[in-house]
Structure 1
């Protein structure tokens, strides 16, 4: 197919517009000689085997994204160029338009990414002075230096540098210069940025050895824009929801003691929130993110700033951020979050030499909203109430789908292993692989061919090295493991694999290849090495089996901390399911959590109101120690995640137990594993111990997102008297203005009437429990 220059496309669009001035769109002959309407704005207008319209409305041009997909985009200047500032204009394998709007030029960022940047002579970006204690990520450069040099008092932990100079940061996507000290957050008036296709930035996932762990505490400021962007990360073209046009999303990298400041502008057609997975919001609970729990959602066109201090003494390690409304994050709104600390026992240069993030994702070809709406009907999604099977395994934002399974109306380009970016590591190095499961449903088993992995971190807890062939990682969990390249020579290659445990999928997966791979090649990025497929051999250990976690008894924390020996209360969360009105729902204590997005629980408690009956809650009055028994009565395996408070993982077993039986269990209290996400299999229980030392409303939920939207959530309300003293910032409260406080999100397609007036919160309240068909009520009387 002949590729038309953007200038020619612009001339065609202008000519067609003048010929058909009385029509909202232009018309053009199709291949058969008949007349058809042009594609709609942002509609497909070209690509191999494309049989639809190839013209665009007046003022729009057919912009090529790749050989398989072209899209009508608004022309931004007289040349017909559709690439605005920050749009991709080049990079390895890039097939889209390479022009840039007037006033910008195509700036090289990496082998895989060039973008339209403002010309240096332009006054579009005014310079501004910044406080020495603030790191602001500007859009005009790709290497970001702070405005002052920080001289650390010691060089014990990092002798290679004294200047904070991170090489991977996010960029301000709007055209307004913001002062880093601004704390008022208004909707931006700048136009949305147009991203031609989802960008993959693999270099962002290699943490810089020049990071200054000794830098003084400072603001780490990020400017994010969330928007819809077409993407084909596994070859299949679909709409994705992403931050700043990229997937995985931007890296957040900070030191313990820093303040994270994220300016978010929502360009989506629906509301969104963000959650900082694994971080404790101690004193900033309203910034935790879950819609309807700690905040109201950020509506379309609105800007909001998340600002919180990372200060708890044990907050360091591997985290991630993601959307926390409905199931939106699986559409692409995720990214890594790394916290460094001088007291972290795992140190670069001693325990590892290279620091590499590995993002793991099960990919779907329909928007999460489509899947969610289907699951919440009596018919289910594709005729089933069970969470659907994914379509491909994606590692660091890339994967392979078998296009033979695509339908005639789909746009799919068949990728091969050599189309995907590689991981390159030098010989004789210890590589820290930070595995993050940012997917939706099944656990993955990760491995490296012919190499033992030494697990050194579980969630954010450093542990003594545990050698394994495969690591099973459940949704939302994180593990770090050491890969040793000793003995290799430059040019050697082998596979890193992530294999879905298909035993944990409830539906057939005929079009799924559960085995995702990236090539690891020994050498430096600048080495000219042949791109050949490895001949390495996978381990013989099973890739499927039980849907359980690594044995917590084998994961011994390096920083020893015994669990409290005294327990104030034993509480039970029983997970099961029900089918009210023919619609499948998950339950905790026989209650399907009803999420009222514009009536957040945190604000209710802060106003002195009680928890409504359809939101299962455990309430503690003060600083208490709780044993929480999480029981999976029936259904699927559930990876439960607790916000704000780490869990001491004490005991597990088959069957179901009462609180009295749980109180008599003999636990190992000597330095048990601490983590924030655990998997509970059907017909089993787990006992975890909590210290309610962070006042707030902490969500406990299954992290399989389809189970979340079907109601598998509960909350722990800690120290309500302290919550009533919270001074929730006005900009957070303003997110609720004008919202329907009786609307359930997600859930039924109707709104409930306003609930009756509620009494003030009782000093101690048990979970609201209904009578159970399985005669479990006596188990739940606390």
Structure 2
């Protein structure tokens, strides 16, 4: 199709979309983006690598938006491979069609484009996007998403003098193709080669501040394999937000940020005018990887010198205590005027308990990872599309049990059924020696408790029923459990996955089918007219809005 025809079709689609949902969206603003995804040279660790660039940038463009804004993001794939972007922590209310993982979307073929239509419905906070297919995440293609409160909604802190986004995480010198081949051969990934902050290594970034003023730092762990610890030399950090929830404003000298997690802190430039290290180090690893950026006072008298300040390394107890100290700010408004604490999550009785245990079976002579003994294998057709068109044989609902089986692992396209508007308890159980990190698309959940040992019903006596934080990614410590409560208020086919990307790639994920028999636009938007179709749905036609 000629370029002008594609543009005309896109305009017609979005005009139709706007008219159809104008009653729902009211006068919420629209923001339009055009992203060109290419491969190009990057030098994150001093050597030339081929990275994934968005509009020529590594990391990709930062998205600044406001609660309830509509984002129209047209993604053109100029790579030689199919490509998808997912939106980590963005809930996609009634619209899992835009989630950007293979279970819901057909990949964008080379030379083609797909336009995402996202609404930041009832969300605030710090998030990020990244490429979700294969090992593309190891080449870049990620960027920050900052959702600001609407002007009439008060925030529980003074407006900062500046707002900085830091995308930090581990990095490999090997290409995604080589890493994928390592995993496909039945081996685990090697130890990372280093850490990056905003795509740069040691002292590669400078953040300039004015003495006496306060700044917001949004930090996300965009790595593949390791938890990180974040700290700023000589300064304390006031925690204010975690993945869309305003928190009690506790002070920290360092913060553990696990794979896929995002935090916001306020830092006041109240030290003598100098340059200071911003330090990120790997957590729970031997050896410890470290990288730095520079906090530069605009009236600085001198440069940083000597080693950066040390931080925690393999200690679990201090990390667990810190995680338990993060609480919801009950008096602060979220995206709406009412206080966060007006939703009494602890007074709702869950109708179902799901226990999820990770394990690392060897299947057919190769290393795999599993949930409740099931190692996920992608189907030939995205599950959401197969479900919509009622294509039989792609997946089976109930193909993963609600509780650990403790048997040997097996391969399956695993999908779990759940009823719309039910309220459930999920217990993540980790019997391995490494920290796990779990993410649930399309929802936020309340972290009720975490502890070492075996979870039992008596563990509920230690749950925080009053002011635990709501988020979308949570860690589970070695030989430990983490319990969450979650309202299934979003119809769709939603990915539950390990944020350790090798584990995700080798099967530690499944899909939760949140189902409504009403089939109403009130509960879920229809398939978009521009939806890409592939696999067994290739010759189907999308239905008009």
C-alpha deviation, 1:607, in angstroms? 3.5
Distance 1:663 1:578 in 2: 28
Alignment of 1:494-643 (within 5 A): 494-501=276-283, 503-504=284-285, 514-523=289-298, 533-535=303-305, 538-539=308-309, 541-546=311-316, 548=319, 551-558=322-329, 559-560=340-341, 561-563=343-345, 564-596=347-379, 598-608=380-390, 611=396, 613=399, 614-634=412-432, 636-643=434-441
Deviation at 1:284? 1.5
Q: What is the aligned partner in structure 1 of residue 23 from structure 2?
A: none
User: 1:308 aligned to 2:78?
Assistant: no
- Alpha-carbon shift at residue 423 of structure 1 (Å): 1.4
- Partner SS state of residue 731, structure 1: coil
Contact 2:238 2:251 survives alignment (8 Å): yes
Could you tell me how far apart the structure 1 residues matched to 2:156 and 2:10 are?
A: 32
Secondary structure in 2 matching 1:715: strand
Cα separation, 1, equivalents of 2:108 and 2:455 = 41
2-side partners of 1:708 and 1:578: how far apart? 14
Per residue, is there more strand in 1 or in 2? 2
Alignment of 1:55-204 (within 5 A): 182-184=11-13
Cα deviation for residue 183 of structure 1 reads: 5.0
The 1-side partners of 2:502 and 2:153 are apart by 35
Q: CA deviation at 1:590?
A: 0.4
- The CA RMSD over aligned residues, in Å, is 2.9
C-alpha separation in 2, matches of 1:520 and 1:221: 33
Q: Counterpart of 2:466? A: 670
Matches of 1:709 and 1:259 in 2, distance apart? Answer: 31
SS at match of 1:248: coil
**Unpaired segments ≥5 residues, structure 2:** 15-25, 330-339, 400-411, 541-545
2:247 aligned with 1:451: no
Which residue number corresponds to residue 224 of structure 1? 35
Shift of 1:740: 12
| C-alpha displacement of 1:629 | 1.1
Aligned pairs for 1:425-444 within 5 A: 425-444=209-228
Shift of 1:354: 1.5
> Is residue 2:70 matched to residue 1:259?
yes
Superposition deviation, residue 181 in structure 1: 7.2
Question: Cα offset for 1:651?
Answer: 1.8
Name the CA distance, whole Å, in 1 between partners of 2:320 and 2:221: 13
TM-aligned CA deviation for residue 654 of structure 1? 2.2
Q: CA deviation at 1:297?
A: 0.8
Which protein has the larger Cα radius of gyration, Structure 1 or Structure 2? 1
Please report how far the alpha carbon of residue 588 of structure 1 lies from its aligned counterpart in structure 2 after TM superposition.
0.4
Q: Which has the higher contact order (CA 8 A, sep 6+)?
A: 2
> Alpha-carbon deviation of 1:679?
0.9
Identify the range of structure 1 (268-277 vs 391-400) with the bigger mean alpha-carbon deviation. 391-400
Gap change, CA 1:625 and 1:330, over 3 Å in 2: same
Alpha-carbon offset, residue 334 of structure 1: 0.2
Q: Which moved more, 1:220-229 or 1:730-739?
A: 730-739
Instruction: Find the partner of 2:507 among 711, 717, 721.
Output: 711
2:181 equivalent to 1:396: no
- Whole-Å Cα distance in 2 between the matches of residues 619 and 653 of structure 1? 28
SS state at 1:428 partner: coil
Please give the per-residue CA displacement for 1:588-610, whole angstroms capped at 9, x wherever unaligned: 010100112x4112123333456
**1:695 correspondence with 2:491:** yes
Conserved? CA contact 2:386–2:537, under 8 Å: no
Distance 1:399 1:328 in 2: 20
Aligned counterparts of 2:321 and 2:513: Cα–Cα separation in 1: 29
| Counterpart Cα distance in 2 of 1:683 and 1:516 | 29
Q: Would you say 1:481 and 2:265 are equivalent positions?
A: yes
Aligned to 1:289, what secondary structure does the other structure show? coil
Structure 2 match to 1:734: 533
Aligned counterparts of 1:179 and 1:247: Cα–Cα separation in 2: 30
Q: Does 1:323 align with 2:131?
A: yes
- Counterpart Cα distance in 2 of 1:177 and 1:626: 43
Distance 1:177 1:585, change over 3 A: closer
CA contact (8 A) 1:605 1:611 kept: no
Deviation at 1:553, TM superposition (A): 3.1
Taking structure 1 as the reference length, the TM-score comes to 0.59
CA distance 1:479–1:179, shift in 2 (3 Å):
farther
SS in 1 for 2:467: coil
Q: State the distance in 2 between where 1:434 and 1:504 align.
A: 24
Rounded Cα–Cα distance in structure 2 between residues aligned with 1:183 and 1:390: 46
Matches of 1:448 and 1:569, distance apart in 2 = 43
- Secondary structure at 2:277 match in 1: strand
Where 2:180 maps in the other structure, the secondary structure is helix
CA distance in 2, matches of 1:435, 1:180: 38
Indicate the SS of the match to 2:315.
coil
Structure 1 residue ranges without an equivalent (≥5): 1-173, 186-214, 401-416, 742-782
Q: 1 CA distance for matches of 2:81 and 2:117?
A: 23
In structure 1, C-alpha distance between the alignment counterparts of 2:140 and 2:371, rounded to whole Å: 28
Distance in 2 separating the partners of 1:180 and 1:346: 40
- Taking a change above 3 Å as real, the CA distance of residues 650 and 731 of structure 1, as seen in their structure-2 partners, is same
Superimposed CA distance per residue, residues 715-757 of structure 1 (whole angstroms, 9 cap, x where no aligned partner)? 221124256875212321435588699xxxxxxxxxxxxxxxx
1:562, distance to aligned residue in structure 2 (A): 2.7
- Number of the residue aligned with 1:242: 53
- Deviation of the 1:175 alpha carbon: 11
Q: How far off is 1:627 after superposition?
A: 0.4
1:746 alignment counterpart = none
TM-aligned CA deviation for residue 690 of structure 1: 0.7
Is the 2:285–2:313 contact (alpha carbons within 8 Å) kept by the matching residues of 1? no
